[in-house]
Amino acid sequence: MGALIETSITRNLYFYVSLLFFICAKSSFSASYNINEQTRIYTQEISTDSVVLKMDNHFAIPVSVKLELDLLNLEGESGAGKPTIIPANNTGYVLAKFRKIDTASPYKCSYKWKIVLGDVTKMPDKNYVYGYPFNKSHLFKISQGPGGEFSHKDMFAYDFTMPVGTPVIASRDGIVAVIKANSGVGGPNRKFIDDANYISVYHSDGTIANYLHLNKKGVVVKEGQSVKKGELIGYSGNSGFSSGPHLHFEVVQPALDFEKSKWLSFIWDIKTNNGLFSFLYKKSTSSL
């Protein structure tokens, strides 16, 4: 998924921006927000012979960006080809600095960039024990687990069948990165893939937990809010690409390689819900 933007400004400066949106490939979840609405990349002349490439990040969590540059009559430090981490709520972050080789001649800065939510340089804590995303007094059937044949073939994710309106709680401490709560439609058809309501929570080790298919207006937290493990964050529903009321839960590691988004295996705290794991990973197919 991408968009090509061509713009020209004074002094023959041209720039081409290729935008990649944060999306979980091959998933029943597609982040329906446009990441370009809360990030911006742009050039600025700071003197007669100097140009900088800057970026704004209005998300409540860091974003990672990688540049590809094609320069004419410019030289300098850019960090192109390597991930750059833009802090949360940051304006005017300098991605690159250039000097005009000949101030009397036109110059060009052509660039492509790829961006994802989160810090791709962090290493996940694979020993972290996740709490279940619902009250420990409940037991819900797992209708599809990791590798499920219906829609989890390449994923490590769980679908918990539960009535609409069931309280959903945070499985781990974190910061609410993005939310969607305005969708009232859904069904067992991929045309609804962008209609799921969701909460994405960013963890200290750079991973992101996605809580999907929530009820319309079923989100009780705000973007940028800190949440604690076990805290109420929303209510389950049946929005988006879904064959029945359930909660989809997954943990992903941000990756700038768009074709290799990483679903992470993780550990449940089985002490709180004994018997929950009585299912076969690859034969659970009843729900998305």
Rg from Cα positions in the chain: 21
| Residue 282 falls in which region: left (phi positive, over 0), alpha (psi -120 to 50) or beta | alpha
Q: How far apart are CA 60 and CA 122, in angstroms?
A: 17
Cα 36 to the center of its chain, rounded Å = 13
Dihedral, CA atoms, 6, 8, 9, 11, nearest 10 degrees? 130
Listed as own residue / partner, the contacts of 259-265 with beta carbons closer than 8 Å and 24 or more positions apart are 259/25, 261/23, 261/24, 261/25, 261/27, 263/24, 263/154, 263/155, 263/156, 263/157, 264/124, 264/126, 264/156, 264/207, 265/126, 265/146, 265/156
DSSP 131: P
Give the DSSP per-residue string, 160-220. EE--TT-EEE-SS-EEEEEEE-----EESSGGGTT--EEEEEE-TTS-EEEEEEEEEEEE-
- What positions carry a catalytic annotation? 246
Cβ 193 vs Cβ 240: under 8 Å: yes
Alpha carbon of residue 7 to chain centroid: 28
Identify the residue whose tokens are 């959903």. 168
**Under 8 Å between Cβ of 84 and 67:** yes
